[in-house]
Structure 1
Amino acid sequence: MTAPATLAATPPAPVRPGHLKVCGARTRADLALLADTGPTLVGLWHGVPGGPADLEADHLADLAATAIRLGLEPVLVTFLDDPDRLARLARSTGIRWIQLHAYQSPALVADLRQRLPYAVLVKVLHLSRGRCLERAFTQAFERAGTDLFLLDTVTDDGRVGSTGQPLDPAHVHALLPRLNTPFLLAGGLNTTNRDTYRTVTDHPLYAGADIDTAARDRTGHLTHDAVTALTRAWHPRLQEATA
């Protein structure tokens, strides 16, 4: 599937609040489940070495096309830092959202912004023991063309992405004065800790939640009941829309 040529001259749409993203879909059945339970965004992994949901390029393209047909917005979640490769992937799959989930630079964001003016560029900010590892570069990322930040945890042993480790709301609030760009909240979100983050989700830059671990059963598979409960807890309006 190739992105329409008209997209090349189209600026990214404003990032609206109220998103729920479920990350790590692996099959068409996963996408059908998500389309039935309320999330607006689905994370598709590619270029995540050793990741349990990492997809080959052909599989990524198939799932991206399926997601679009089902009314979901596919998000490329990647550790890649090659702008040529990322731009080719975006154009060949029709994916408009790119989540840079490792330690890519502001220069890469600027390069992608020039190549893909229509894309929504998401940069993850990693918090380790309360300290944002990219704190000194947040404004550089914004100047480079970042549309959305995603706040997530780093484990003590350095793992990033889908760790199920919660963020401390106080650490999030300490970072927010540095941001002028909307953000998604990640890091161990589940159906029982929504109220813990009430002051974060009330912030005017809050754009939604990103969930992976809590959407799965003990075998690692997405379940209808789990995603339904998460949608109800984090974005009940999305749940109403699918009822």
Structure 2
Amino acid sequence: MLVKFCGATTAAEVRGVAEAGADLVGLWHGVPGGRAELSARRVAELAAQARATGRLEAVLVTFGSDAGALAALTGGAGPSWVQLHGYQPPSVVRALRALVPDGVRIVKVLHVRGGRCVEAGLIGAYERAGTDCFLLDAVGADGRVGSTGVRVEDAVVGRLADRTARPFLLAGGLRADNRDRFAGAVAHPRFLGIDVDSAARGADGLLDPAGAAAVVRAWRRPPGGPREGSRPAAEAAGAAGAGGTR
């Protein structure tokens, strides 16, 4: 199970979630008005910090649709994942796939509103365009997307995951005390891991190592006893079949 914590803005947060056992850290760029928005230079700096931990990979989280600009931020010491969190069409995925360096993974968010996936009719097109995996997340009552704290019900997750041929990450209101509400999602053969934001934040609004560690322990707790920590992110994603078209 991969664990991603999203919205880091400081080197201390990056180091803290790595020490907590995370695999991925989300860095926001191209999220207009976002509380964790970073400049391109800051994304590069924090991605290098993540790589220096020896276990953490950086994820570029964006509403952007300029494939060339996004690809230029990846590779080398930059983020090795790109998470398209807006309503970008499959053509953006296709263009990005053609431009990113080998080994960079593309995540397309599928937004769920009222129990229905907004992009349901485009799932196959996203897969053909080169999406490596999906992230299932809920839209807020006001239409807001990303870090809404709204859960996607477990039954809805299962139905949506069954419509895809790619692994999926789950987001939306996930906490250390509610893993059992998602037993079906965790048991799904294409379940790849979780994406957490608010449940790992301290009173200062920053990602908190203790809160992050609590989430990691709770979600990695297997039925019947202790379990070894996760494998590196790229290895686990590959084992789950997350290999976009090349």
TM-score of the superposed pair, with normalisation by structure 2: 0.87
Structure with more helix by fraction: 1
Percent identity between the aligned chains?
49
- The aligned amino acid for 2:163 is R
What is the aligned partner in structure 2 of residue 66 from structure 1? 49
What is the aligned partner in structure 1 of residue 216 from structure 2? 231
Match of 1:139 among 124, 135, 159: 124
Q: Distance in 1 between matches of 2:76 and 2:50?
A: 15
- Could you tell me how far 1:119 is from its partner in structure 2? 1.5
- Could you tell me how far 1:113 is from its partner in structure 2? 0.9
Distance verdict in 2 for CA 1:238–1:222, change over 3 Å: farther
Identify unmatched segments of 5+ residues in structure 1: 1-17
Conserved? CA contact 2:161–2:168, under 8 Å: no
* Aligned-residue CA RMSD (Å): 1.5
- The aligned amino acid for 1:86 is L
What is the aligned partner in structure 1 of residue 150 from structure 2? 165
Deviations 1:46-67 (A, max 9, x none): 0101111110111111101111
Match of 2:62 among 71, 74, 78: 78
Deviations 1:10-62 (A, max 9, x none): xxxxxxxx100000011000011111110000000001011111101111111
Instruction: Within 5 Å, give how 1:1-243 maps onto structure 2.
Output: 18-71=1-54, 72-91=56-75, 93-116=77-100, 117-236=102-221, 237=227
Q: Distance in 1 between matches of 2:78 and 2:197?
A: 23
- Could you tell me how far 1:91 is from its partner in structure 2? 4.2
Identify unmatched segments of 5+ residues in structure 2: 222-226, 232-246
Distance verdict in 2 for CA 1:76–1:69, change over 3 Å: same
- Could you tell me how far 1:92 is from its partner in structure 2? 6.8
Distance verdict in 2 for CA 1:227–1:110, change over 3 Å: same
Secondary structure at 2:157 match in 1: helix
How many residue pairs match? The answer is 224
Secondary structure at 2:51 match in 1: helix
Q: Mean Cα displacement is larger for which, 115-124 or 180-189?
A: 115-124
Distance verdict in 2 for CA 1:171–1:207, change over 3 Å: same
Conserved? CA contact 1:20–1:208, under 8 Å: yes
Deviating beyond 6 angstroms after TM superposition, the runs of 4 or more aligned structure 1 residues are: none
Deviations 1:127-173 (A, max 9, x none): 00101000000010000000010000101111000111111112112
Q: Distance in 2 between matches of 1:129 and 1:218?
A: 31
- The aligned amino acid for 2:84 is L
Q: Distance in 1 between matches of 2:72 and 2:80?
A: 12
Secondary structure at 2:166 match in 1: coil
- The aligned amino acid for 2:208 is T
Q: Distance in 1 between matches of 2:41 and 2:230?
A: 34
- The aligned amino acid for 2:179 is R
Conserved? CA contact 1:215–1:227, under 8 Å: yes
